[in-house]
A and B are shown apart, each in its own frame.
Chain A
Amino acid sequence: MKKAILPIIISLIVLGSVSILVLNSGKLNSGEGIQYFIITAIVAFGVYMGVSRIMSQKRGQPTEDELSKKIILKASSLSYFLSIYLWLVIMYLTDKLKIETDIMFGWGILGMAVFFALSWIYFRFKGVKDE
């Protein structure tokens, strides 16, 4: 049960923290709005993973099996590879547009999470054949 609930708890903690941060900072500018939207989408992704694990458990099946582990492994390696290029682009833009370091890190971490979610969705629908 722990493994099934964990993604939901983490997602809700992230959403709660971001909401408090947004409420305290007052008005949202467009950049912050986009960030908040992306974070909400990632949280929804985490909740979906948690709910699907709970459903599996209710059907008497394991929360994780060889396919789900392989999908996570493949998604992790692809998103890591893509993240290297993301950081290169961010570093280039930081230099050109004189972006503050904390904002650069925020976008970088958010981008990595988005890459992981997209890679996971890609392998979840395409499958893992390893041929």
Chain B
Amino acid sequence: MNNRIKELRAKCNLTQDELARRVNVRRETIVFLEQGKYNPSLKLAYDIARTFESKIEEVFLFEE
């Protein structure tokens, strides 16, 4: 699963620290997500999408 977190974070002018604080996770989790080393839980995916005012499928790109 790929994601657009880094791109959307830059668009919203957010640092990794700020995004981590907003979705209540550690900064390392955001780093892992951006590097594609971690697939988030549904709740975290929803929280991140809501922070970017987007839908989950716009942030996380599922591959068949």
Bound-state Cα–Cα, A64 to B35, Å: 20
**Contact between A67 and B27, CB atoms less than 8 A apart:** no
B45 → chain A closest CB, angstroms? 11
B41 an interface residue at 8 Å Cβ cutoff? yes
Interface residue from B20, B27, B29, B39 paired with A130 (Cβ < 8 Å): B39
Chain B interfacial positions (CB closer than 8 Å to A): 1, 17, 20-21, 24-29, 32, 35-41, 44
Chain A interfacial positions (CB closer than 8 Å to B): 56, 59-62, 64-68, 126-131
Q: List 29 A-B contacts (CB under 8 A).
A: A59-B17, A59-B21, A60-B21, A61-B24, A61-B27, A62-B24, A64-B26, A65-B24, A66-B25, A66-B40, A66-B41, A66-B44, A67-B26, A67-B28, A67-B32, A67-B38, A68-B28, A68-B29, A127-B32, A127-B36, A127-B38, A128-B37, A128-B38, A128-B39, A129-B36, A129-B38, A129-B39, A130-B39, A131-B1
What residues of A have a CB within 8 angstroms of the CB of B32 in the complex? 67, 127-128
